Structure 1
Amino acid sequence: MHARITIFALGVLSLAVISLYPTLQFPSSAQVSTFIGPRVWPLTLLGILFTLGLVLLAITLRDRKQALAAEPPSSQESSENAELPPPRFSLARTRHWWFMAAAVAYTLLMQSVGFLVASLIFTLAGTLLLGARSWVTVVITLVVAAVLMQGVFVSLLGIPMP
């Protein structure tokens, strides 16, 4: 279990580092006529993503060390020899990978259909991945997300939607 979480944390860190170069290609606030430039929000998210990836990696490594120290030597041998059941595919087990794939798709889709449409598609995918089953909940989430994005970026910050 610790190996999977470690791989996921390393994937999150890699995603943040790889996304840094394209993000730095966005214009800064000095290059545009808005108070906050298009680069601020993605850089903020990348900083948060990188920080949380580091925290997840540190917690996973700490928990692994504690689990190895607490496990008696005889059970280590028996756990290595014991057969594990074959892994079954389930959305709950792979949800984090689907979120990462959705984030990459969101970034690529934003360039072709625009920020608002791509954000609504990403919000829909994220809501369904988080387990929302009621279409009323999904529609309310999409409407609130659209109003917040339009209100914050266009009305409050004066940043036109791409």
Structure 2
Amino acid sequence: MQARIYIFAVAVILLALASLPLTLQFPSSAQVSTFIGPRVWPLLLTVLLLLFGGALLVMTWRDGRRRAQQPLQDGNSQYAVSADDPQAGSSVSDTAEAPAPAWTLSLAATRHWWLMAATVGYTLLMSVIGFVAASAIFTLLCTLLLGARSWLVIGITVVVAVALMQGVFVTLLGIPLP
């Protein structure tokens, strides 16, 4: 399991490093007529990706070292079985022999892929039908994927999200949207 976390953390760091030169090519606020330039948001996300990926890598490495050193420091492992206690041996052997659950392609197992596909679709759809309509569809789809079932809650979420996006970008920041 720890190898997967290492791979994920390294992938996040590599994504951030690959995105950094492209992000720096965006114009700054001094080069455009808006209060906050187009570079700010992607640069912030890229730096956060780099920081969080690095933090995940360091924390995973630190936890792995703690687990490796813990039995040596304590003198006993968490899996040690006492010869005097037959109950302790049965619980350890039961967990070691239990079959792993079968992996299935359920919505819960593939939800992250659907969210990424929705994000790509949102990006493509934005130039075709416009920002507000694409944002409403994207918010509706993401709300459903994340498990909301009440149509009242879904409707309120879509309206509030679209109003916030429109209000923040157009009204507050003065950034024209497609």
Unpaired segments ≥5 residues, structure 2: 72-76, 81-92
C-alpha distance in structure 1 between counterparts of 2:114 and 2:65, whole Å: 29
Deviation larger for 46-55 or 64-73:
64-73
Q: From the superposition, tell whether residues 95 and 56 of structure 1 become closer, same or farther in structure 2 (CA, over 3 Å).
A: farther
SS in 2 for 1:37: coil
- Identical aligned residues as a percent: 60
Q: From the superposition, tell whether residues 154 and 53 of structure 1 become closer, same or farther in structure 2 (CA, over 3 Å).
A: same
C-alpha distance in structure 2 between counterparts of 1:120 and 1:64, whole Å: 43
Query: Could you say which residue in structure 1 is the equivalent of 2:146?
Result: 130
Matched, 1:144 2:160: yes
Q: Deviations over 1:31-66 (max 9, x none)?
A: 211121111112112222222222222222223333
Query: Could you say which residue in structure 2 is the equivalent of 1:3?
Result: 3
What is the one-letter code of the residue matched to 2:30?
A
TM (normalized to structure 1)? 0.72
Higher relative contact order (CA 8 A, sep 6+): 1
What is the one-letter code of the residue matched to 1:34?
T
Map residues 73-92 of structure 1 onto 2, 5 A cutoff: 84-92=100-108
Matched, 1:154 2:156: no
Q: Deviations over 1:56-96 (max 9, x none)?
A: 22222223333344464978xx9999864442333334444
Unpaired segments ≥5 residues, structure 1: none
Query: Could you say which residue in structure 1 is the equivalent of 2:90?
Result: none
C-alpha distance in structure 2 between counterparts of 1:121 and 1:9, whole Å: 31
Structure of larger gyration radius? 2
SS in 2 for 1:54: helix
Q: From the superposition, tell whether residues 129 and 135 of structure 1 become closer, same or farther in structure 2 (CA, over 3 Å).
A: same
Count of equivalent residues: 160
What is the one-letter code of the residue matched to 1:152?
V
**Root mean square deviation of aligned Cα:** 3.3
C-alpha distance in structure 2 between counterparts of 1:25 and 1:161, whole Å: 20
SS in 2 for 1:89: coil
Q: From the superposition, tell whether residues 154 and 90 of structure 1 become closer, same or farther in structure 2 (CA, over 3 Å).
A: same
C-alpha distance in structure 1 between counterparts of 2:17 and 2:133, whole Å: 26
Map residues 10-21 of structure 1 onto 2, 5 A cutoff: 10-21=10-21
